[in-house]
Structure 1
Amino acid sequence: MISMLKSFTQVLKSVLTSCSCVSAAAVDMAEKRKMRKRSTSSSEEPMSSQTSEAETAAPSVVSMKSDASMYEPLRFGVNELKRSRSRGDEPTAPSGVSMKSDASMYEPLRFGYEKTQSSQSRGNEPTAPSVVSMKSDASMYEPLRFGVEKAQSEQTGEPSSCPMCMEALSDPVRLTCGHWSCKQCVSSDNPCAKCGKKHRKDPRHQKDTEEDTRGSHLLNAKKNHRKATQNKFTWTSEGLGDQKNPLNTIYTTLFINPGESEGPHEEQSFRHFKRTLKKQQSAEKLINLNDIFTPSPGQEKPPRTVLTKGVAGIGKSFSVQKFILDWAEERANQDIDFVFNLAFRELNLSTENKSLIELLTDYHPALHELKDSEDFVKARVIVILDGLDESRLPLDFENKPVTSVSEVTSVGNLLANLIQGNLLPDAKLWITSRPAAANQIPAEFVDMVTEIRGFSDPQKEEYFRRRFSNDLSLADRIISHIHSSQSLDVMCQIPIFCWISAVLFQEIFGGDEKAETPQTLTEMMAHFLFAQTKRRSRKYEKKTEENKERLLQTHREFLLKLGKLAFVQLQKNNLIFYDEDLEDCGIDILEASVYSGFCSTVLREEEVFSQKKIFFFVHLTIQEFFAALFVYDCFTNKNTKELGNFLDLKDKEHTLLDLLKMTVDKVLEKKNGHLDFFLRFLLGLMAETNRRVLQGLLTSPDPGQDTNKKILTHLKAIRRKALSPDSCINLFQTMVEMRDHKVKDEIQEYLKLSERSKTELTPLHCSALAYMLQVSKDDLDVIELKNFNTSDEGRRRLIPAVRTSRKAILADCKVTEEWVEHLAFGLKFPYTALRDLDLSNNDLKDSGVKLLCDGLSSQCCRLKTLSLSGCQVTEEGCDYLASALKSNPSHLTELDLSYNNLGESGEKLLSELKNDPQNQLTVLNVEHGGSQRMKQGFKKYACDLTWDPNTAHKNLLLSDGNRKVTWVKDEQPYPPHLERFDLCQQVLCEQGLDGRCYWEVEVEEPFNIGLTYRSIGRKGDGSDSKLGCNDKSWGLMCSDEGCFVQHSNKKEVVCSLSSRSSRVGVYLDWLAGTLSFYRVSSDSRTRLHTFKERFIEPLYLAVELHTHSSSAFFVG
């Protein structure tokens, strides 16, 4: 008995010890649960089941009555529970001690909200009774619940059912009376089926349940969306619709430059795409694809909206796909919950009003689980709007704001509000576009602009060697041919054109070492068309037609229908077409499907949202070529009815030459290069060698009309001042397409000359020269427009070359505001080489400075030195400059504004900027200002000069207050003087010149006029004393024998003056080291020659006269 009592005592102590442990553990676990709850509520993702398991203590061995220990049960994650059930895991073992309780088994532990069955129903044995039990009416009413959901225990093995519907609990909710019911069975009007009381749902449990359910749905949606995205973008087609490759395998990293290439955007941006071959390799800053939302140095926060520009085919959509795939494969941007891709080509099909939730769910079905708008608002999201240039949706940024993701409106209005930040203000937005369409987005809604650049030379070579890895000799041959063609070399910076070239040259070369290679882009595209037609015939027709002409005749009707589609949509600037667009051009959708093998390399077909189809040409260049084919066929077959709207044709008959001239004029009216390549292809088809591969498709024009030569003559005669320099280059390239290489060959010879100043260049030559300099892979260090022997129009056409040089000197070149616009445009390119720009002595005025500052303020502008000396700038111009330098303070270090009329306020404003430590400006020149600097041209530098009688030879007579000198036969009674010329009939001015001066002299031949140091010899008539015959003087000599300049006894012939009595202008910029002579007439000033020296002393005007000659200053 005593031993039994001792055993009972020991058991009782054990129970009490266990109870105290349980109480402490319960308190501790309750605190942990509260902490986890706070952590979970502050996080956007539910706590993982693994974390819950790690932090949850095992059930106690002994249970005692406790009203608090069970109200805050430990809860495991619902997902882990589901996994354990699916594995058939056994329920938690019962405690070793149990207290008597009538209710202890009515509320079993429930692992999750799933419909449960008892362990007995699975054939398990009932839970064993406890060793010790104490009476407790409440200890089990609030059992331990393991899971995020308020679960019930499975201890009893009894099924958990709803007292209302008597079915297994579905979405259970706890009533305030303590009982449970299905969510759908609960009503505020119906009493509890168990106790008869009317009770509301427990608000605490309802809130927890909603949060837990939302978290579960969010996790599932993320998982499913990531998987669907990965499946969609893992494989891609480069160009052939039936050949797909892993995106990670074929993707070549592209150059992404920060900065805005604004200004007059070209539809075909090859115009300003020519100087990237080496520039991008040495770019100051490049952006990694996955870092586009990373803040740049100096930025306080990451950008919300990034706009990425790039020409058609440059790889914008490929970059988008790679960005999304890297996220889906957990390679990058793992702080983001969702990446949504919305392509405008697909959004165009959404004609019904929608909410943003509906729009996103339509295009991403994995989001259907998310029903609550808060899921979208609180999630970390990136929305990608790909292909703004393909949009047919109106984007109105003035409409009433839409702020709720559930509000229904038009798709265009949804996108506008998304861009403005009214919808999903915390989401990040990435927009891609061709440059021409990028200005649809107001600048205030864009935080950062980037631009995708194309392939460098090494990347091009890598592309072809990777594509033809099994035949490297073929790759090398293709690379060699591409480098030999300037046009093709430039275009192959665009990845899609590398693919076109690979497809074409594989067909042309194809093991035939003697195969003739295309020499023009027109001929290349013609070969491409024929190759794809033959490819389609081989693949889909039982009998392959070997005759080229008959093969094209067979497919002529369909090819010209494609041409019509290309032309009609090109006029509308559309790149994406739909069923109705094809039907309008007579193309049956089934017919297009029959030609799908051909279309995959020319006109692509894609199935998008709701099984709808879209169509697009593989590249804009191919679309323009097909459009040219159609128009050429209309011209040669006199089917002008199709072209009535394009050329505004009347009813009268038009010759082929008339139609071509009208087309040229029509295209030249277009801005920003729209239809440039169309014109080049159309006129290129006039050359028989370009179209001979298309016999059977195209009709040859009447050779008797000699249309080809006549249209060439027309192109060369175009002299429109309204024509931009870039359009002039396109005319030159069009002539090259027509196989007219005369101008090109002449410029190539010109570039070989060591002395080019004597060779006169026509405006057309200058366009060709600008193009040659643009595409040259050697950096142009310095270009000075005055050095080119051409007209003002010729110099204007050289502006594109100026944009590609490191230093450009346009001083005294009659620069107009139109020139400045083109220069400012060039400053906005991130890869521009221009660092030093001299615009001095051009009457730009404040309006011209304002235009220039549009480029100067761009973050892409890297200009370090700018000279606006003598440009008629006032306080207003200083305001423009100060504003630009505040916008872009990091690069310009030297600013020359001397010889202007800045006023005190203007000088003060710029001086404050110079002293600002945030600005890089260190050298500011505002000297020699005043109201006299507002005179036109060189008159602002006019000097008041007089001849020095102490230097005059005795046969020189001074008059008019020593402003005129004349040769006379009789010697003048001048007193002896050491400064007097004794044998050389010369005289010097009294004033020494060491600044910027200009004067004009009325002269009669023969004469020798120039400048000299004061130390020139006075005695004798040797070279030490004669003007221009020594290293101390520079002269211009004119006589019956002609005119020439001379220094250090070296002569150089220059243009003669127009008559024996003429006016000579002399301009000296002592500091710059330039001395220029001009022939001056009543309405013009023609430069004869410029000396460039480093002057070390003040200079003095000097003149040498001979029999019957005279010289007098002209006061202007």
Structure 2
Amino acid sequence: METPGHSEMNALPSGLLYSHTQLLKSNRELLVTHIRNTQCLLDNLLQHDYFSAEDVEIVGACPTQPDKVRKILDLVQSKGEEVSEFLLHVLQQLADAYVDLRPWLSEIGFSPSELIQSKAVVNTDPVSRYIQKLRHQLGRDSKFILCYSKKEEVLLEDTYTDTIMELVSFSNESLGNLGSLACLLDHSTGVLNEHGETIFVFGDAGVGKSMLLQRLQSLWAAGQLDPELKFCFHFRCRMFSCFKDSDSLSLQDLLFKHCCFPEQDPEEVFAFLLRFPHTALFTFDGLDELHSDFDLSRVPDTASPWESAHPVVLLANLLSGMLLKGATKLLTARPGIEIPRQLLQKKVLLRGFSPSHLRAYTRRMFPDRAVQGRLVDQLEASPSLCSLCAVPLFCWIICRCFQHFHSIFDSSPEMPRCPVTLTDVFLLVVEVHLNRTHPTSLVQRNTQSQTETFRAGRGALRSLGQVAHWGMEKNLFVFGQEEVQASEIQEADLQLGFLRAVSELGLGEDQQSYEFFHVTLQAFFTAFFLVVDDKVGTPELLRFFQEWGPPGDAAAVSCSPRFLPFQCLGDSGLAEEDPFRNKDHFQFTNLFLCGLLSKARQKLLSHLVPAGALRRKRKALWAHLFASLRTHLKNLPRVQSGGFNQVQAMPTFVWMLRCIYETQSEKVGQLAAKGICANYLKLTYCNAYSADCSALSFVLHHFRKQLALDLDNNNLNDYGVRELQPCFSCLTVVRLSVNQITDSGVKVLYEELTKYKILTYLGLYNNQITDVGARYIARMLDECKNLSHLKLGKNKITSEGGKCHALAVKNSKSIFEIGMWGNEIGDEGAKAFAEALRDHPSLTNLSLAFNGISTEGGKSLAQALQQNASLRIFWLTKNELDDEVAESLAEMLKVNQTLKHLWLIQNRITARGVSRLADALQRNTGIMEICLNGNLINPEEAKGFEDEKRLVCF
């Protein structure tokens, strides 16, 4: 940053000693120009008796700020070297207060003496004090995690566990995992658009978006993030729904009145923020939970930070960069909402807990190893329960329930009727917290059954359900005092902790508002109300099933992105719909409705709902579910491809599967299986979790024909593989790429798929498979004699695993294609594959790209191909192949006339090697292309090979 007077900054006469007084005098103009805060200087000079009270009064009598600076400099210089040195020390120590002087202080290389360093500098700068206050406030607010009961306070530091954070492209393709929260804000990692300012974090409900932001705020408050981020402003988007259409405020009011107010000189603090917006971090949590009737088309964009506007307009313009351009914005939402690419810096998908994360989490939740062991044993004994724990919120709920039962039943800490469905889990947590309202003693335990507990708490649950339903109908997640009173919620009901008081944006200081602990809890209580309230008729009962969309449009509506229709963000053409709305909370309501009206819940509900009303509601729900399922399956897109009748399922289909599973009805499962009418089910990019595999298996185990199943690019992990066991007997194609699967999951695949030996295609690209898993896959290739396609790219397979695979390939008479891109098999693995290639009868496509193969491995492969007549496509991209390898390949081409495509992109081949390949092509009529892009060939050298069209150099 350029500042006036730099050329004369250190212009002291030759031969003179370093003089601080002279330094102030020779740079007087610079100091007068850039010192804006005189009070901080006066406070420090006065504290150390360098200035008297009379000196301070003399400075205060000066009419303008520059005059005050001149007077301070005059007085300081008159008092000698020590005072002048101390003044420079204050300017250096309070970098934020005197930011414009940083270059100068750096250039002069000022270093204070031990005497001056021993004198404490007091920071009374308004900006610095505001930053300290902000850090203190956010540190306090982020210290504890949210709990159901107000009496519980759990330290974030003691329980927070990282989840899987995956960088994705604009189209949600995986770009690799993030190692830490600091990487999330690193502008050099995963950037899709260098001009974008918004980091978009998305993931399903309960996957840990809010917790991630809370942890981020805690790290910022502790000074453990980028030191350049001096401000952190946190907003929950749902609170913007509380503003009325007529509300208007300035950006300064939005930040200071609704976040943290400066104790002094707010105008100076705001001016600093406007001048250095890159020092600010904004976090906006839950864009999908913002619902506003405010018509944004009525107002223009606002680029003025002083102009008042509706808060939603300010939000839109902050995200677009019209306001505080250069600030870092971190935005969270559930899947289904997208923001325009021009605003997007990076996209991060939260995938929840992997098995290793779950183990780490249980260790933090239960330090006692004996208790921890009992919980792990119980989870391992119930795959469906373990699968639910992949979602951090559900994992937390299950652990807290286990904690409760352990505390009251020391001798038998197991949860009664181990939960199977999500409805079971939420019924269990309600039971736990209702039981906590009953007095207990050391000599008398609470022995109420679940039925008795719910019957005793019916009034409280119905009142909570009424306010939940009111909000769900209006797509609102925050409720005012009037709505709570209208639902007849008592103070004791609030003490249960499901509904908690909040005081945030858009509400007066004397007005209390409330929200449910989580959107899934609001959905559960909504469903509970629809079931137990006698006045609820069929149309109201089925109201939220309409969100599946009209026939034929359900899938398209479910998976189509929602864009902010602000003029500053670009027109999406979806202005007729609520742009913020994500439908997951409606779908959770449908799911819980199916669970509560299931046959398994009949006994519990018979004490809460008249039998006739319960029969009527169950009959109406099943009829509607059957009709919706039949219509949806009929209208799914279908494609004839590769001999398969392929059906392209959508996220809505996953929700339907979840609802079917909640019913635990074999009849419904059979109907769904019958309606698939295809032999290839594609469920890629459907946000499916391991628990969804329970639902999928619940349906597919009724499927009596052979089936291809494509679950690429979801979040299944090893638990999901275990949950798929019931349907492996009918699967000929299994695609599980990009699913966080480890060796443990591969072992399950081996054990199950080799029982039936009908597998033809196995896709495990981009997982976490090591040589241990590679051995299981090699054995699978040995035992499954029909296996023709094997995709294992981008795992962690080394030369040992490569040799195992190569041997299995050598012995296979059915293998057609092998994909090993992006592993680490090296030269030893390449030599093993060379042996497999000699005289192989069926292998047609082989990728050994990006495997660390160099000269020896490359020459072995080239020599082996002289004895191969099956291979047609060979990828060796991104290895370390040199001219020696090129010469060996040239010799091979003189013999091998069956190879069609040879990719040598991004290796180390020079013009000499290319020349040998060009010569060999004169004797080869079979090869169609040799791709050499990215090798050590310059454009001039490439011109020499232009006549040979089969050589692609650029």
TM-score by length of 1: 0.47
Give the superposition deviation at 1:703.
9.7
Equivalent-residue separation in structure 2 for 1:678 and 1:29 (angstroms): 74
- Aligned partner of 1:404 in structure 2 is 304
Question: What SS is found at the alignment partner of 1:243?
Answer: coil
Q: Give the structure 2 partner of residue 80 of structure 1.
A: 44
Which residue number corresponds to residue 364 of structure 1? 260
Encode CA deviations 1:829-860: one digit per residue, 9 max, x unaligned.
9999999699xxxxxxxxxxxxxxxxxxxxxx
Supply the distance in 2 between the matched residues of 1:293 and 1:740 (Cα, whole angstroms): 47
1:430 and 2:334 equivalent?
no
Deviation at 1:531, TM superposition (A): 1.9
CA distance in 1, matches of 2:70, 2:372: 69
Aligned to 1:696: 607
Whose radius of gyration is greater, 1 or 2?
A: 1
- Unaligned ranges ≥5, structure 2: 1-12, 81-121, 560-582, 637-648, 674-678, 680-699, 742-762, 771-788, 794-818, 823-848, 852-874, 882-897, 901-925, 928-954
Matched, 1:226 2:139: no
The residue that corresponds to 1:489 in the other structure is 386
Q: Which residue of 1 aligns with 2:867?
A: none
1:332 aligns with 2:225: yes
The aligned counterpart of 1:413 is 313
1:675-696 C-alpha deviation (Å, 9 max, x unpaired) = 4433333222233433544563
> How far did residue 707 of structure 1 move?
5.1
Q: Which residue of 2 aligns with 1:306?
A: 199
Change (3 A) 1:368 1:420: farther
Describe the shift of the 1:566–1:685 C-alpha distance in structure 2 as closer, same or farther (beyond 3 A): same
Change (3 A) 1:714 1:228: closer
The answer on whether the counterparts of 2:548 and 2:558 sit within 8 Å (CA) in structure 1 is no
Does 2:574 align with 1:687? Answer: no
SS in 1 for 2:300: coil
Partners of 2:166 and 2:177 within 8 A in 1: yes
Preserved contact between residue 144 and residue 153 of structure 2 (Cα < 8 Å): yes
Output the amino acid matched with 2:436: R
Structure 1 pair 642–732 and aligned structure 2 pair: CA distance change class (3 A): closer
Residue type of the alignment partner of 1:624: A
Distance in 2, matches of 1:742 and 1:768, equals: 23
Tell me the distance in 1 between the aligned counterparts of 2:460 and 2:663: 27
Answer yes or no: is the 8 Å Cα contact 2:544–2:589 preserved in 1. Answer: no
Residues 562 and 484 of structure 1: is their aligned pair in 2 closer, same or farther, counting only changes over 3 Å?
same
1:500 Cα deviation (Å)?
0.9
Q: Which residue of 2 aligns with 1:173?
A: none
Q: Note if contact 1:522-1:690 (Cα within 8 Å) is conserved in structure 2.
A: no
Q: 2:242, 2:478 within 8 Å by CA — same for their partners in 1?
A: no
CA contact (8 A) 1:46 1:215 kept: no
> 1:559 and 1:669 mapped to 2: Cα distance?
36
After superposition, the Cα gap between the structure-2 partners of 1:714 and 1:389, relative to the gap in structure 1 and judged at 3 Å, is closer
CA deviation string 1:27-70 (max 9, x = no partner) = 87243355487379669x97998xxxxxxxxxxxxxxxxxxxxx
Please say if residues 148 and 517 of structure 2, whose CA atoms lie closer than 8 Å, have aligned partners that are also in contact.
Answer: yes
Matched, 1:38 2:40: no
Equivalence for 1:559: 461
Residue 437 of structure 2: SS of its match in structure 1?
helix
Residue 517 of structure 2 is matched in structure 1 by 618
Q: For residues 528 and 386 of structure 1, what CA distance do their matches in structure 2 show? A: 25
**CA deviation vs aligned residue, 1:144-171 (integer Å, no higher than 9, x gap):** 988579789999xxxxxxxxxxxxxxxx
The letter for the 2-side match of 1:558 is A
Residue pair 2:480, 2:512 contacting (<8 A) in 1 also = yes
Q: TM-score scaled to structure 2, two decimals?
A: 0.54
Distance 1:828 1:575 in 2: 40
Instruction: Give 1:347's match in structure 2, choosing from 235, 240, 244.
Output: 240
Equivalence map 1:271-670=2 (5 Å): 284-296=176-188, 304-351=197-244, 352-362=247-257, 363-366=259-262, 369-372=265-268, 373-379=270-276, 380-393=279-292, 396=296, 400-437=300-337, 439=338, 441-470=339-368, 472-508=369-405, 510-511=409-410, 513=412, 515-538=416-439, 546=448, 549=451, 551-582=453-484, 586-588=486-488, 591-598=489-496, 600=497, 602-609=498-505, 610-611=508-509, 612-634=511-533, 639-640=537-538, 642-643=540-541
Q: From the two aligned structures, give the one with the greater strand fraction.
A: 1
Would you say 1:243 and 2:152 are equivalent positions?
A: yes
SS in 1 for 2:501: strand
Q: CA deviation at 1:522?
A: 2.2
1:365 Cα shift? Answer: 0.9
- C-alpha contact (below 8 Å) 2:711/2:737 kept by paired residues: no
Q: Which amino acid aligns with 1:517?
A: C
Please give the per-residue CA displacement for 1:756-798, whole angstroms capped at 9, x wherever unaligned. xxxx9876988997789984628989x9xxx9989xxxx9xx9
Note the C-alpha offset of 1:461.
2.3
Alignment of 1:762-911 (within 5 A): 775=716, 777=718
Match of 1:195? none
CA apart distance, 1:606: 2.1
Q: 1:722 aligns with which of 629, 635, 644?
A: 635
Q: Is the 8 A contact 1:780 1:805 kept in 2?
A: no
Q: 1:548 to 1:416 in 2, by over 3 A?
A: closer
* Counterpart residue number, 1:739: 664
2:356 maps to a residue whose letter is P
**1:108-147 paired onto structure 2 within 5 Å:** 109-110=55-56, 147=72
The DSSP-based 3-state class of the residue aligned with 1:624 is helix
Give 1:671's match in structure 2, choosing from 558, 565, 576. 558
3-state secondary structure, aligned to 2:436 = helix
Q: What CA distance in whole angstroms lies between the structure 2 residues aligned with 1:544 and 1:725? A: 46
* Equivalent residue pairs, number: 630
CA shift in 2, pair 1:405/1:319, >3 Å: same
Q: Give the deviation of 1:417 after TM superposition.
A: 1.8
- Partners of 1:346 and 1:710 in 2: CA distance: 37
Aligned partner letter, 1:240? S
* Equivalent-residue separation in structure 1 for 2:523 and 2:604 (angstroms): 18
Partner AA of 1:696 in structure 2:
H
Tell me by how many angstroms 1:520 deviates: 2.8
**CA offsets, 1:656-681, max 9 Å, x none?**
xxxx9999999999735744433333
CA RMSD of aligned residues (A): 6.0
Taking the aligned partners of 2:551 and 2:46, their CA distance within structure 1 comes to: 73
Distance 1:832 1:385, change over 3 A: farther
Cα distance in 2 between the residues matched to 1:487 and 1:261 = 33
Match of 1:391, as an amino acid? L
8 Å contact kept, 1:313–1:495: yes
Taking the aligned partners of 2:68 and 2:613, their CA distance within structure 1 comes to 99
CA shift for structure 1 position 614:
3.8
Cα 1:802–1:702 change in 2 (3 A) is farther
Alpha-carbon contact 2:460-2:493 (below 8 Å) kept: no
Cα contact 1:309–1:451 (8 A) shared by 2: yes
Residue 530 of structure 1: how far off its partner (Å): 1.9
Q: 1:23-102 maps to which residues of 2 (within 5 A)?
A: 29-35=21-27, 38=30, 77-84=41-48, 89=49
SS of equivalent residue, structure 2 residue 468: helix
